[in-house]
Amino acid sequence: MERRTFLRALQLGLVSTAVINDPLFGSSLDLFPKTSVDQELAYHRIQDIKFSSVALRYPRLVGKNARLGLHGYGPDVEICVIKTDKGASGWASLRGSRKEAQQLAGTMVGKTVADFFQQDIGIKDDNYIPFDIALHDLAGVIVDKPVYSLLGKTKPIINDCYSGMIYFDDLEPEGKPAGIDKILEECAADYRLGYRQFKLKIGRGHRWMPFEQGLQRDIEITNKVAAAFPDCKILVDGNNGFSVDQFIRYMQGIRGVKLFWIEEPFHETETDYRKLRSWLKDEGIETLLADGEADPDPALLQSLIEKKLLDVHLTDIEGLGFTNWRKLMPNLKRWGAQASPHAWGSLLKTHYTAQLAAALGNTVTIEGVSSTSEDVDLSGYYLKNGKLFLPNKPGFGMPLLKQV
């Protein structure tokens, strides 16, 4: 029977009991995929999984933050490419190590895409999370839909996108630091790229400067950026480099600056966030509190959100997993919180987040990691007046340019 004819017969309930009971098709109708998309995925068997890497390059050297040294010029990202026996191919960065993924790959070859992926769920077994994003891309390619459409959104929700690349570059190069003007130059460059939100790294006094000097530098940079770019929103990220009392001192030093959000000023505890929230309320300061990137504790984050001590959930798009973010988003809506999955390091993660947000909404802004690549066609996505626009292309809409 021709495949299209078979699928049509299945939809009309005309497939005979003899066929349904055939071992080739399983033992009951319940084993058939639920949607026409899932039926299409069941037609494709995984023929090969290959591994490689793609190079992403930042427009400038990215320096230190409160905890870590130089971040460099961009990563080489480990990827996998999944090919089917019908000629479809999907790819994405891996979650975890290549070694772990290679051990799993052999268990996938010869099975259908529907064995591992279902449209309304994502991956069906968390053991296969290394391939989570690649399977979303592959499913979109197979049915010729962008991921946001695969997730049920006909017209994508367009979201704000902030520059996440403004680090302690005033301290570089070592021995002859560029000073505050360097940060203003970088903000101007990112403005020209289309950003209208800047996330400033703060916490210089945690590791790289004497505390009082570092605190004053944080304050001065925040004040100067806010004054120089009055049409832009300012976010700050402490990378857990403050105590709660130290951070309140920083806030006192930037009176008059309206912050869009405060990210990870200290490692999250209920006591410290309750104290900060109370201080902000007493001062009449309205801003979002965002956390959950570094060493996230899901139960604690949920508790802080339910107690209205956190506003934005930040866990990494790859660290938590694309499928798990799909599961988490409805809960965040129910708890009255918003999302902004951490994407630092890789523009691929920015684009994965953009597809998730385009479909599910509830994303206050997206972390931008401007990059170029000779290995990936990134041109389908573009920034304009602070908004990140998506391509109307299958999967994540980022064709590989290199042969794998």
Structure token digits, residue 228: 């120089």
Report pLDDT digits (tens) over 174-195.
999 999 999 999 999 999 999 9
| pLDDT, position 14 | 32
| pLDDT, position 33 | 52
Structure token digits, residue 256: 């008059």
pLDDT of residue 254 exceeding 80: yes
For the stretch 66-80, what's the b/e string if a residue is b when 16 or more beta carbons lie within 10 angstroms of its beta carbon? beeebbeebbebbbb
Mean pLDDT along residues 156-168:
98
| pLDDT, position 4 | 42
Q: Any residues with CB less than 8 A from the CB of 233 and at least 6 apart, and which?
A: 162, 196, 197, 198, 260
For the stretch 123-156, what's the b/e string if a residue is b when 16 or more beta carbons lie within 10 angstroms of its beta carbon? beeeebbbbbbbbbbbbbbbbebbbbbbbebeeb
| pLDDT, position 35 | 82
What are the extents of the domains in the chain? 1-32, 159-389
pLDDT of residue 140 exceeding 50: yes
Cα 218 to Cα 288: distance, rounded to the nearest angstrom: 19
pLDDT of residue 76 exceeding 70: yes
User: For residue 9, what pLDDT band results from cuts at 50, 70 and 90?
Assistant: very low
**8 Å CB contact between 66 and 202:** yes
pLDDT of residue 391 exceeding 80: yes
Q: How much is the pTM?
A: 0.91
Mean pLDDT along residues 75-84:
98
For the stretch 278-294, what's the b/e string if a residue is b when 16 or more beta carbons lie within 10 angstroms of its beta carbon? ebbeeeeeebbbbbbbe
Cα 205 to Cα 343: distance, rounded to the nearest angstrom: 25
pLDDT of residue 17 exceeding 90: no
Structure token digits, residue 403: 């042969």
Give me the chain's average pLDDT, please.
Answer: 92
| pLDDT, position 99 | 94
For residue 54, CA distances in Å to 138, 245, 375, 398 come to 18, 43, 6, 12
User: For residue 109, what pLDDT band results from cuts at 50, 70 and 90?
Assistant: very high
CATH, range 159-389: 3.20.20.120
The rounded Cα 73 to chain-centroid distance in angstroms is 20
**8 Å CB contact between 26 and 166:** no
